[in-house]
């Protein structure tokens, strides 16, 4: 009887352990559900001139948050189209403030700008995203992401329906941006990508996305203008845009261990505060936004993968079948074959259009001439023959 109880206890204990282990594993699974191992950020301010101070302040405040949450400068590509801190009109040189009365200096003393001034162009931006940079480009100017990188892309400046203006002289369209992201997907340059844009009619910029694993946020819908926050009377310009101002306030509460997810980010700056209606797009994103942490994109939380299996490195790596009969079948990833050479070499020649043989045409014309001369007078024929 005691042995029975002991066996029951043992069984119960094993069950308990197994349950706990599964629970732990579920939580562990949940913890590792994002699937990324490193974080990158590309922060772009596209407008120059002193009265666009607020765009530089926007970008620098996101830079500040991202750096505070752990992404190092080597993984941040910061593009600022103009130098506000050292502008001749800045009454407080070497500072860029985001709150009036000079409460917060987002320029700091360790800012690293990778692309400055006239280097911020559409071409450079697209080259960074797609990785097509000349070999002489230094590492700080490259986006060296891989297929396990989560990338945060933040754009701010002046925009319109379907375009974003760079430097007052050129534009990037939403189609170009979507194609750039598709190139990134095909070259496996990101795992998941969060795209935030703070411009007028910003929602138009993410309308054309078609690559998987993209989530997008914009500060205003098509037809609406994004408005700026308060001006500072001593500096004489508007310091921040509303959306990024409230985004900064939201991010100031995030620390590396916080569990806030994307649904809270979508709620940042409702219409009562922002005057414009912020929008977001999650249909291309595979995971549920509620399970995506803010720190997945804004921070760099080091993840460790626990594996219970030994990997035999001498054998060639084979496709793994899913060990547990998971609901999600892991997709077989292959590179898209952009130039199917074998097909080109071995294809059949294209059928040319059929022409009647040449002699036939000659004969036809001779016949026509003969008929002509017969009708109109044989005397002309004598002149020919």
Partner 1 sequence: MGLLSDPNRRRALISLLTRLNTPICGMPVEWLMKTMQAKGLEVFTQRFSRTLPFPDENKERYMVRGTNVYGILRAPRAPRTEALVLSAPCSPGDNNNQAVGLLLGLAEYFRNQIYWAKDIIFLVNEHDLIGMQAWLEGYHHTNTTGMDWSPLQGRGGSIQAALSLELSSDIITSLDLVLEGLNGQLPNLDLANLFYAFCQKIGVLCTIQGKLQRNDWDSVSGYSHAVQTMMLMVMKQASGRPWGDHGLFLRYHIEAATIKGVNSFRQYKTDATTIGRLLEGMYRKLNNLLERLHQSYFFYLMPSLSHFVSIGYYMPAFGLLAVILLLRALDLWVQLSTPPQRTEDGVTDIEPVRGTHFKTVADLLSLLTPLVISHLTGVALYMLPIRFQEMAVEHFPVSETEAVVLTAIAVYTAGLALPHNTHRLLSGEGTEQGWRVLKLVAVLYLAVLLGCTALINFSLGFILALTLVPVAAFVTPHVPKVLSAFILVILSPACTLLFSVFFFQELQEMPISFQDGWLLFLSVISQGILDHSLYGSLVYPLITLLVYPCWLLFWNILFWN
Beta carbon nearer to partner 1, 22 or 234: 234
Q: Is 51 in the site for partner 1 (CB under 8 A)?
A: yes
Using CA atoms, how far apart are residues 43 and 62, in angstroms rounded to an integer?
8
For residue 213, with 0-12 CB atoms within 10 Å meaning exposed, 13-18 middle and 19 or more buried, which class applies?
Answer: middle
CA-CA distance, 128 to 79, in Å (whole number)? 11
Q: What does the DSSP 8-state code read for residue 120?
A: -
3-state secondary structure of 156: strand
Q: By three-state DSSP, how is residue 172 classified?
A: strand
Q: Indicate whether 49 belongs to the interface with partner 1 (CB under 8 A).
A: yes
Sheet order of strands, 158-160 included: 158-160, 163-166, 170-173
- Between 11 and 236, CB nearer to partner 1: 236
Q: Does 46 bind partner 1 (CB under 8 A)?
A: no
Name the active-site residue from 45, 55, 200, 238: 200
Judge whether 158 counts as a catalytic residue. yes
In whole angstroms, what is the distance from residue 92 CA to residue 287 CA?
Answer: 45
CB of 49 to partner 1, least distance (A): 6
| Pairing mode, strands 76-80 and 163-166 | unpaired
Told to check if 234 binds partner 1 by CB under 8 A, we report yes
User: Of the two residues 178 and 235, which places its CB atom closer to partner 1 in the complex?
Assistant: 235
The verdict on 50 binding partner 1 (CB under 8 A) reads: yes
DSSP per-residue letters across 40-57? EEEEEE---SGGGHHHHH
Q: Is 77 exposed, middle or buried (0-12, 13-18, 19+ CB in 10 A)?
A: buried
Size of the site for partner 1 (CB under 8 A): 14
Q: Based on CB atoms, which residue is closest to partner 1, 88 or 348?
A: 88
200 is catalytic: yes
Report helix angle 53-68 to 242-252, nearest 10: 20
Contact track, partner 1, 272-311, x by CB under 8 A: ----------------------------------------
Does 124 contact partner 1 by CB under 8 A?
Answer: no
Binding mask 58-97 for partner 1 (x = CB under 8 A): ----------------------------xxxxxx-x----
CB closer to partner 1, 3 vs 88: 88
Catalytic residues: 158, 200
Contacts with partner 1, residue ranges (CB under 8 A): 49-51, 86-91, 93, 233-234, 236-237
């Amino acid at each position: 009887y005691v042995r029975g109880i002991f066996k029951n206890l043992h069984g119960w204990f094993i069950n308990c352990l197994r349950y706990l282990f599964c629970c732990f594993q579920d939580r562990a699974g949940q913890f590792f559900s994002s699937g990324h191992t490193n974080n990158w950020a590309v922060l772009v301010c596209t407008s120059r001139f002193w009265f666009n101070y607020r765009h530089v302040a926007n970008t620098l405040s996101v830079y500040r948050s991202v750096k505070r949450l752990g992404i190092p400068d080597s993984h941040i590509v910061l593009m600022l189209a103009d130098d506000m801190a050292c502008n001749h009109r800045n009454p407080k040189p070497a500072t860029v403030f985001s709150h009036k009365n000079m409460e917060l200096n987002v320029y700091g003393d360790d800012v690293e700008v990778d692309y400055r001034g006239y280097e911020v162009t559409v071409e450079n931006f697209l080259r960074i995203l797609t990785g097509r940079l000349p070999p002489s480009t230094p590492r700080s100017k490259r986006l060296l992401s891989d297929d396990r990188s989560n990338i945060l892309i933040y754009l701010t400046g002046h925009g319109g329906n379907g375009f974003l203006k760079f430097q007052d002289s050129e534009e990037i369209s939403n189609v170009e941006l979507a194609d750039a992201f598709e190139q990134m997907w095909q070259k496996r340059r990101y795992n998941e990508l969060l795209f935030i844009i703070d411009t007028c009619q910003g929602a138009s910029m993410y309308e054309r996305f078609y690559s998987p694993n993209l989530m997008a946020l914009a500060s205003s819908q098509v037809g609406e203008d994004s408005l700026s926050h308060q001006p500072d009377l001593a500096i004489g310009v508007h310091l921040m845009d509303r959306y990024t101002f409230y985004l900064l306030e939201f991010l100031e509460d995030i620390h590396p261990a916080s569990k806030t997810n994307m649904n809270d980010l979508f709620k940042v700056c409702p219409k009562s505060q922002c005057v414009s209606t912020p929008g977001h797009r999650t249909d291309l994103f595979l995971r549920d936004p509620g399970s995506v942490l803010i720190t997945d994109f804004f921070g760099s939380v080091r993840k460790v993968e626990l594996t219970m299996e030994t990997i035999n490195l001498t054998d060639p790596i084979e496709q793994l079948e899913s060990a547990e009969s998971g609901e999600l079948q892991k997709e077989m990833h292959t590179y898209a074959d952009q130039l199917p050479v074998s097909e080109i070499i071995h294809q059949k020649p294209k059928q040319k259009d059929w022409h009647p043989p040449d002699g036939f045409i000659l004969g036809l014309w001779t016949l026509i001439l003969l008929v002509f001369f017969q009708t109109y007078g044989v005397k002309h024929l004598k002149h020919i023959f």
